[in-house]
Amino acid sequence: MISLVFALALSTLQETPIADEPAVAGEAVPEPQRDPVTGELPVDPYEMSNAHAGAAPFTGTGMRDAFHGEEGIRRVVDGMVDRAIVDPRISEVFVSHDLVRLRRALFEQFCHILNAGCDYTGRDMEASHRDLGLQVDDLNVLVENLQAAMASEKIGFAAQNRFLSKLAPMKRDVVTH
Amino acid sequence: MNAISSHRLLAGLTCLAVFTCGPAHAQDLRNGGKLLLTNGVSTIEGSGGGGLATWSTIAGNATQEGIGASAHGTIIELPDYNWTSYGVSLGFFDRVELSYARQNLDTIDVGTALGLGRGYTLNQDVFGAKLRVAGDVVYGDALMPQIAVGVQHKRSSDDAVVAAVGGASPQGTDFYISATKLFLSHSVLANATVRFTKANQGGLLGFGSATQNNHKPQFEGSLAYQVSRRFVIGGEYRTKPDNLAIAREDDWLDLFAAYALTRNVTVTAAYVDLGSIATADNQRGGFLSLQAAF
Ligand code: HEM
């Protein structure tokens, strides 16, 4: 991600006449502003679709209930993200990413897959993780963080695994290394 | 195998062979990343698997990013025999497994009956190699298992006994293909293995006989239920050839419980039914195995 910014900055520099080099580079990239309502940083436009959640939702209300509805799902997502961003094995990956947006998108995705009444408005899994260079070890750590969050929410182990069965096939889009 | 991982595999093997892994290599490798219990436990033949049945899992805790290792010791208490085995295995990039196990079967009083002397112990070395060829036990398509092929070269140390019971050779090699999958939607792990073997009692009584000296396909099946992250229960069934004229040989089965005490230590306890062994029938008893994996 950081290298991408550098690459963009460099290409801008190359197209710029050498004479006005310092001033223009500064002006060309203004500080992005957080949305006053959502608290999220702007992202490039993309098409929205529930298909981007990456898995067909469960049917019925069993899984929604097992996760204690929207409230429980929110606690699970926050519990997972809270653990991930301080887990020394993967915390670095999250530095300088918009965690407000990440929590919101993950909540929508989990809520949609668990058939708890949400639409997913985030990006697809391939686009979201393309530039992160994740390894299967990173995914296993995040799964452990998710398992810990689900255990704190007192979600039965069979239901935990049922949910993981929806995420497991996404490895091919998330793990690029 | 893609180009990157085969390159890494070579680099890792070279680094292991010459024992001069510099800091650069150590930085590239990332060890110990597997999810709890997804490496299985060690079988009595040293390969990664259940207790009696070999699985397609690669020993040790490393994923495709690293090199893992495991060591195990197993005891089986039976009415007429005591079994001990121990071994070590290495897992390279969740792709290749190399294993060694030493098996010892104390014949106690049966030794006297067979004229070997009381407490005569049959011994065997098992050298194994396994290659994961496709799939992933946890991730990917829910119906696509992890598939591996492997060999186990076995060398009995009791040439005279093997000849006396009618075994054609004290050495033999088993070949197998194995498919293993954790069906997360049901918390169930299933394994099926086909082994081509002529081993008598796993090889402790040699390989083949004067009349039956071909590799025959045998089946090993395991079914396990994941009760929690740390705790798995299950059962296994393993068919065996019946080559020797002097003693019947039965299929094996077990009911097991495996518990991951820590990320590195797993204890497995089982009830095993090994049937008739060298004329002593109904060999049912207890199995206890301790594994350390990294
Ligand atoms: C199957 C497993 C995973 C799922 C279902 C998942 C889901 C998501 C979702 C819904 C988003 C937000 C997309 C958007 O902003 O529109 C996202 C972004 C992100 N994920 Fe994941 N993720 C997974 C694995 C991982 C892993 C293993 C890591 C790192 C250890 C990770 C790190 C990130 C980061 C840093 C972002 C923010 C990217 C950005 O700012 O553009 N994810 N993920």
Write the DSSP assignment of B84-148 as a string of letters.
EEEEEEEEETTTEEEEEEEEEEE-HHHHHHTTS-TT-EEEEEEEEEEEEEE--SSSSSTT--EEE
Tell me if A165 and B227 make a contact (CB, 8 A cut-off).
no
Q: Identify the pLDDT of residue B7.
A: 54
Pocket of ligand 1 (CB under 6 A): A 90, 93-94, 97-98, 101-102, 105-106, 109, 122-123, 128-129, 132, 134, 138-139, 142, 167, 170, 174
Distance A146 CA to ligand 1 centre (A): 13
Contact B148, B49 (CB under 8 A): no
Strand partners, B39: none
What is the C-alpha separation between B72 and B85, in angstroms, rounded? Answer: 8
CB-count exposure of residue B65 (10 Å: 0-12, 13-18, 19+): buried
ipTM: 0.88
* Closest residue, chain A, to B225 (C-alpha): A158
Q: Could you give phi then psi for residue B219, rounded to 5 degrees?
A: -110, 140
Q: In the structure encoding, which two tokens stand for residue B257, read together?
A: 């419980």
Q: What is the CATH number of domain B3-293?
A: 2.40.160.40
Our CA-based measurement puts residue B184 at a distance from the nearest CA of chain A, in whole angstroms, of: 5
Q: Identify the pLDDT of residue B97.
A: 98
* Length, in residues, of chain B: 294
Q: Identify the pLDDT of residue A7.
A: 43
- CATH topology classification for A4-15+58-174: Globin-like (1.10.490)
What is the C-alpha separation between A75 and A6, in angstroms, rounded? Answer: 36
pLDDT band at A20 (very low <50, low <70, confident <90, very high): very low
Tens place of pLDDT for every residue, chain B, 294 residues? 444 445 555 554 444 444 444 333 445 799 999 999 999 999 999 999 999 999 999 999 999 999 999 999 999 999 999 999 999 999 999 999 999 999 999 999 999 988 889 999 999 999 999 999 999 999 999 999 999 999 999 999 999 999 999 999 999 999 999 999 999 999 999 999 999 999 999 999 999 999 999 999 999 999 999 999 999 999 999 999 999 999 999 999 999 999 999 999 999 999 999 999 998 999 999 999 999 999
pLDDT band at A2 (very low <50, low <70, confident <90, very high): very low
User: How many other β-carbons are positioned within 10 Å of the β-carbon of residue B169?
Assistant: 16
- Mutate: best of A145, A165, A174, partner B, most B CBs <10 A: A165
pLDDT band at A30 (very low <50, low <70, confident <90, very high): confident
What is the C-alpha separation between B241 and B60, in angstroms, rounded? Answer: 30
A100-103 contacts, C-beta under 8 A, 24 or more apart: A100/A34, A100/A38, A100/A39, A100/A40, A100/A41, A101/A40, A101/A41, A101/A43, A103/A77, A103/A78
Q: Identify the pLDDT of residue A143.
A: 98
CB-count exposure of residue A149 (10 Å: 0-12, 13-18, 19+): buried
Task: Give all strands (DSSP E) within chain B, no chain letters.
Answer: 41-42, 48-49, 67-77, 82-92, 96-106, 121-134, 146-156, 167-169, 171-183, 188-197, 207-209, 216-226, 231-238, 252-260, 265-273, 284-293
Contact B86, B102 (CB under 8 A): yes
Residue A139 contacts B, CB cutoff 8 Å: yes
Give the one of B30, B35, B187 whose C-beta lies nearest to A143's C-beta. Answer: B35
Q: Map out the domains of chain B as residue ranges.
A: 3-293
Distance B1 CA to ligand 1 centre (A): 26
pTM of the model: 0.88
Q: Identify the pLDDT of residue A153.
A: 98
Q: Identify the pLDDT of residue B22.
A: 39
DSSP string, chain A: -HHHHHHHHHHHHHHS-GGGHHHHHHHHSPPPPPPTTT-PPP-------GGGGSSPPPPSSHHHHHTTHHHHHHHHHHHHHHHHTT-TTTHHHHTTS-HHHHHHHHHHHHHHHTTSS----S--HHHHHTTT---HHHHHHHHHHHHHHHHHTT--HHHHHHHHHHHGGGHHHH---
Tell me if B139 and A165 make a contact (CB, 8 A cut-off).
no
Give the one of B30, B34, B187 whose C-beta lies nearest to A161's C-beta. Answer: B187
Radius of gyration of chain A (CA): 19
Q: Map out the domains of chain A as residue ranges.
A: 4-15+58-174
